[in-house]
Amino acid sequence: QVCCSGHGKNGSLSVLQQSIRPDLITEVELPSCRGIWTVYYKSSRAHTTEDNEYHAYLIISLEGRTMVLETGDDLGEVTETVDYYVQGATIAAGNLFGRRRVIQVYTTGARVLDGSFMTQELNFTAHSSESSSSSSEPLGVASASIADPYVLLKMVDGTIQLLVGDHSTCALSISVPSIFTSLSEKISACTLYRDRGPEPWLRKTRSDAWLSSGIAEPVDGGGSSSQEQSDIYCIICYESGKLEIFEVPSFRCVFSVESFLSGEALLVDAKGRQDDTKVSLKKEAADSIRVVELAMHRWSGQFSRPFLFGLLNDGTFLCYHAYCYEGLESNVKDNSFSPAGSVDLASASDSRLKNLRFRRISVDITLREDISSLARPRITIFNNVGGYEGLFLSGTRPVWVMVCRQRFRVHPQLCDGPIEAFTVLHNVNCCHGLIYVTSQVRSCLNICIFLIYFKK
């Protein structure tokens, strides 16, 4: 867009562009980059608070290897002196056990590291009951989701595995949820969601919330607040489009939707629906469209509620905002009492999120590209980039989605062309900044900060 601005001798021709332009600190040419992650290391944070803690390492996944850089005063490569897996690409990386350990997931395994030293290595194998041979074969990881102390793995064959952490030993064990061992339907996308706070939000949407208030034990382990509690949930979407939410680690289903990918205006628990109407896609569309990425997050704020995101392989971006439905039926308690007046535990154990609803939010985002189910993750959630929180969508048309008073503000970043990877960076020389990798003419790694101020 072009406009005339100013007056008299100060008049000029102005070009308006709807695009964010972060302020560049450093640019480095970096070909064949597939993913980037920044991680913390607890022993290096001294007495800093969690929000002000500096990142310790930058992990860069290339096409056939992995680079590791220290993020101190300067970015220095330490690939040859650390115990990270560097012989191949990295699938995901993050922190576990209150940032005391780093977890690195690669195609056939994972490593747990105490700073630069490896403390545990896991190898992933097929656990299928249909396997006739006694020896397990290596099984590749397609994607991973990390929610301390759990790591959810989606394998290339459409199955999942769960890594369960032990805070006392800072070690992981591999678990295959029994509910999925004989599952015939493949999983198209999955993620973990950590519902944390003095009172985790999803608890109030349970059908037995009036019975279970305050009975759960904190599982945080990080120890920032004795009153803080957290619940872990696993969100899974199948190739048929059905979405289910499970408690972790019990993997008891607490919420399900028959056709998530159809983009209904309202998502209601299928078990608690009063009507039998189902939204179905055309057969040819149902065969080709599937959810390739899921994310769920609740940003800060006294009255904040979780958001649920889904990315389809045709580039459609679904966004839902959760709320607690307090209709007439939510005030009517089930027959949870015996004639003697005691609580019927069998009935009270039905703790589905029957009062949970998701309302679809319209966001002006169209990626305009076909996305493979085995492609790299596109959704990156951030809590502090230049003082702002939201998510970043990488791809051919990268987009910032800023959260302001529980509302979304969409800002494209088209000035650098396609963006392959994105992560946040906080260190001495880059205060709450960001790193992204472009792939237009030459692939470059850009370290930037925000000097752009939006009206809050």
Euclidean distance between CA atoms 308 and 320, whole angstroms: 5
Q: Which of 315-319, 373-377, 380-384 has the lowest mean pLDDT?
A: 373-377
- Closest listed residue to residue 445, CA positions, set 77, 94, 187: 77
Is 209 strand, coil or helix? Answer: helix
List all residues 6 or more positions away from 418 whose beta carbon is below 8 Å from its beta carbon: 395, 396, 397, 398, 438, 439, 440
Q: Is residue 44 very low, low, confident or very high in pLDDT (cuts 50, 70, 90)?
A: very low
Domain harbouring 115, CATH code: 2.130.10.10
Q: Looking at residue 43, what is its pLDDT?
A: 65
Q: Are 387 and 449 in contact (CB under 8 A)?
A: no
Q: Is residue 286 very low, low, confident or very high in pLDDT (cuts 50, 70, 90)?
A: low
Most confident of 56-65, 281-290, 346-355: 56-65
Q: What is the mean pLDDT of residues 49-54?
A: 79
> Does 217 fall in a domain?
no
**Residues 35 and 146 occupy one common structural domain:** yes
Please count the structural domains in the chain: 3
Q: Are 234 and 248 in contact (CB under 8 A)?
A: yes
Amino acid at 313: N
DSSP class per residue in 45-93: -TT--TTTPPP-EEEEEESS-EEEEEESSSEEE-GGGS-S--SS-EEEE
**Residues 390 and 451 occupy one common structural domain:** yes
Q: Looking at residue 143, what is its pLDDT?
A: 94
> Does 223 fall in a domain?
no
Q: What is the mean pLDDT of residues 22-43?
A: 91
**Residues 82 and 201 occupy one common structural domain:** no
Q: Are 413 and 423 in contact (CB under 8 A)?
A: no
Distance of CA 28 to the CA centre of its chain: 27
* Domain containing residue 430: 23-30+376-455
The vertex-153 CA angle with 152 and 154, nearest 5°, equals: 125
Q: What is the mean pLDDT of residues 11-15?
A: 87
**Residues 65 and 152 occupy one common structural domain:** yes
- Closest listed residue to residue 145, CA positions, set 341, 357, 379: 379
Classify the phi-psi angles of 81: left when phi > 0, otherwise alpha if psi is within -120 to 50, otherwise beta: alpha
Q: Looking at residue 167, what is its pLDDT?
A: 93
Euclidean distance between CA atoms 343 and 347, whole angstroms: 8
**Residues 43 and 148 occupy one common structural domain:** yes
> Does 13 fall in a domain?
no
Q: What is the mean pLDDT of residues 239-260?
A: 94
The H or E element that residue 406 is part of is none
- Closest listed residue to residue 67, CA positions, set 106, 36, 109: 36
Q: Looking at residue 126, what is its pLDDT?
A: 65
Euclidean distance between CA atoms 71 and 375, whole angstroms: 27
Tokens standing for residue 210: 């009036």
Task: Tell me the pTM.
Answer: 0.85
* CA count, 13 A, side-chain hemisphere, 118: 13
Residue with tokens 């990877």: 421
**Residues 302 and 370 occupy one common structural domain:** yes
pLDDT greater at residue 145 or residue 406: 145
Q: Are 39 and 59 in contact (CB under 8 A)?
A: yes
Q: What is the mean pLDDT of residues 341-350?
A: 43
**Residues 431 and 382 occupy one common structural domain:** yes
Euclidean distance between CA atoms 192 and 177, whole angstroms: 14
Q: Which of 155-164, 259-268, 333-342, 386-395 has the lowest mean pLDDT?
A: 333-342
**Residues 384 and 433 occupy one common structural domain:** yes
pLDDT at 241 over 50: yes
**Residues 56 and 71 occupy one common structural domain:** yes
**Residues 357 and 382 occupy one common structural domain:** no
Strand order in the sheet with 90-96: 90-96, 101-106, 109-114, 117-123
Q: Looking at residue 134, what is its pLDDT?
A: 43
**Residues 193 and 297 occupy one common structural domain:** yes
> Does 280 fall in a domain?
no
Distance of CA 394 to the CA centre of its chain: 14
